[in-house]
Chains A and B, each alone.
Chain A
Amino acid sequence: MADWIVEDIPDQDSLFYRVPVDWLRRDLKVAPGVFRENKGSMSTDWEKYSSAAQTRSRQGRPERFAVLRLAVGKIREIEELTVSHEPVQGVEGQPDNQAHTGVYGLESQSVGPADLGRKERLRTALFERFKAWEIAPHARID
């Protein structure tokens, strides 16, 4: 199998972001708290190589997850966030995933006065752009 190359992701494409249903309030609506990093980035899948249903199932037990569609151009509107295609291939302990894409910048290493409230500002900006589920919580599994 050929090595997967890192590609540029066009603004008009989308990423799928998996959200555990456990994190949601009773109304099952998207909330600012769903936008969070894991190992240094928000882990998503590029739609070129993954469907929303595949993203939902990637960790097993898909019924535990809902999925958001994040338009890349809208993420990039938020100045401090970047999108980076990072296919996972041949990494021990991780299944191969050509779609894997990181959204970087939510966390800041700096803790100066100007950074206070920064993460809250970025989470608010993400929440305002992405409120609609691509796959709703408890949706039927095809």
Chain B
Amino acid sequence: MPVSPMQRLLESAVQERGFPRSSYTVRSDKEQPFGFKRSEPRGPSNRFASLAVASHRNSSPSEREWRAMDDEIKAADFVLEIKNDLESDDFVPYARETLSRATEFLRRMMIHAHAANVTGVGVPQIGPADQGSIDLYWEKSDRTLLINFPAMESVANYYGRKPKSEVSGRFDPSEARGELAFWLAD
């Protein structure tokens, strides 16, 4: 069976993180794009039925988190429709490339977390910021993390705060930055 790009990403994340026995597998794109399922025996009869009837109660925390993230990513397309509203003279259009840089980073980060059996990273709000940049913003009970992806620059700037801990800096968004996921989830 051909290996999907997401499967390759997951495998690489598992290898990089040193979790060769992760309990997560990726289904083929045809079955459930980017979806996770715990490794368990599956009979042909319930293979697709499980998708149809799976309720939030029966799905694992990581599945729910992944689905919520996917929903947020789909909803984020609204930023591509923002036009120059005359409010800003230095308006920079929101590009698909910038949005993809942010959402692909988010997926990689989540894969790393789930591959390490870490859930509770939470799903950020994806939204527009200044000069064509895109924000990922996590707001949890005692912590926040804001990551900004500038337009036309393959970097990301971030700031996060929780009790007794502040993090900030800049990184290459083609990296997964699993430690930020762990920082959010611990």
* Interface set of A (CB-CB < 8 Å, partner B): 18, 20, 22-26, 31-33, 36-39, 59, 64, 116-121, 123-124, 128
Q: What total of chain B residues lie within 8 Å of the partner, measured CB to CB?
A: 32
Given known pairs A120-B146, A121-B168, the reply for A22 and B83 (CB within 8 Å) is: yes
CB distance B168 to A119 under 8 Å? no
Given known pairs A22-B83, A64-B85, the reply for A32 and B170 (CB within 8 Å) is: no
CB distance B130 to A37 under 8 Å? yes
Given known pairs A20-B85, A32-B146, the reply for A116 and B78 (CB within 8 Å) is: no
Number of A-B contacts (CB under 8 A): 79
Please indicate the chain B residues that have their CB under 8 angstroms from the CB of A26 in the complex. 75, 78
B81, B87, B148: most-surrounded residue (chain A CB, <10 A): B87
Output the least CB separation between A108 and chain B (Å): 11
* Interface set of B (CB-CB < 8 Å, partner A): 75, 78, 81-83, 85-90, 125-131, 135, 137, 144, 146-148, 157-159, 161, 167-170
Please indicate the chain A residues that have their CB under 8 angstroms from the CB of B128 in the complex. 23, 33
CB distance B125 to A25 under 8 Å? yes
**B147 in complex: contacting residue of A64, A120, A128, CB < 8 Å:** A120
Given known pairs A25-B75, A116-B169, A119-B148, the reply for A31 and B127 (CB within 8 Å) is: yes
Please, how many angstroms separate the alpha-carbon atoms of A64 and B82 in the complex? 12
Please indicate the chain B residues that have their CB under 8 angstroms from the CB of A20 in the complex. 85, 87
Please indicate the chain A residues that have their CB under 8 angstroms from the CB of B82 in the complex. 22-23
Output the least CB separation between B100 and chain A (Å): 18
CB distance A36 to B130 under 8 Å? yes
Please indicate the chain B residues that have their CB under 8 angstroms from the CB of A36 in the complex. 88, 129-131
CB distance B168 to A33 under 8 Å? no
Residue pairs across A and B with Cβ atoms less than 8 A apart, 30 shown, are A20-B85, A20-B87, A23-B128, A25-B75, A25-B78, A25-B126, A26-B75, A31-B127, A31-B135, A32-B127, A32-B129, A32-B135, A32-B137, A33-B135, A33-B137, A36-B131, A38-B87, A64-B85, A116-B157, A117-B158, A117-B159, A117-B168, A117-B170, A118-B159, A119-B148, A119-B157, A120-B158, A120-B159, A123-B129, A124-B161
